[in-house]
Amino acid sequence: MTTQTRTSMPPPVRPAHLLAPPGVYAPQYDTELLTRALHREGIDEGTSVLDLGTGTGALAVAAARRGADVTAVDVTRAVLTARLNARLSGQSVTVRHGDLRAALPKGPYDLLVSNPPYVPSPSPLPRRGAARAWDGGPAGRTLVDHVCDAAPRALRPGGVLLMVHSALCDADATLERLAGLGMQAEVTDREFIPFGPVLRSRRTWLRRRGLLRDDENREELVVVRAELR
């Protein structure tokens, strides 16, 4: 599959009937980018899908609409929102409350999708508050690495991981980690988007860390696709 590179994206559009109450991460550019990648996979009835860090359930609902058997996991009260959104969308999704670092729901799965917290943060992972949806630790990789490590345990042979994160987390590090775990990985999509409020507020800190140049004002998002050999 060839890498798709675009220079900008239109503003993200929240799917109809998808609720995102305060404190629950609303679908953004990263959600849209990962949903596009999801639709390229051969999902149909009988495809088993695991959505780690489901948030509003946007990806879980998108997979269920294709006929997949979907299990979605989140550690926050977003599980209530995901259940409600699945019901409002007329889709059957099994939603479970659990930490991404805890034991995985029983598999194996054909497809694992994840939009984990990946924004580099001056502090370790928060234990409460809205920032749990985006803060990924000092390198932004605390939960990204966990998803990488979980994929071979969750997937059947030939199964696929689709994960979105910022290039600030080092996409090459993700590819190398997955390759070391026996997965064939590549970046299939790239998008440049304007800085949001969180990155704008951390611009000085990110520059001191060497993660941003002085003239940078856009963030690159990447979708990593990895197949278990």
188-223 per-position pLDDT tens digit = 999 999 999 999 999 999 999 999 999 999 999 999
47-81 burial by CB neighbour count: b if 16+ within 10 A, else e? bbbbbbbbbbbbbbbbbbebebbbbbbbbbebbeb
- Per-residue pLDDT band for 15 (boundaries 50, 70, 90) equals low
Cα-based angle 172, 62, 83 (whole degrees, multiple of 5): 110
Structure tokens at 71: 């299990």
Q: How far apart are CA 157 and CA 152, in angstroms?
A: 8
- Per-residue pLDDT band for 12 (boundaries 50, 70, 90) equals very low
* Beta-strand runs (E) in 53-115: 69-74, 93-97, 109-114
Task: Give all domains of the chain, ordered by start, each with its CATH number.
Answer: 4-228 (3.40.50.150)
Q: How far apart are CA 113 and CA 33, in angstroms?
A: 12
85-135 per-position pLDDT tens digit = 999 999 999 999 988 777 789 889 999 999 999 999 999 999 888 899 999
59-76 per-position pLDDT tens digit = 999 999 999 999 999 988
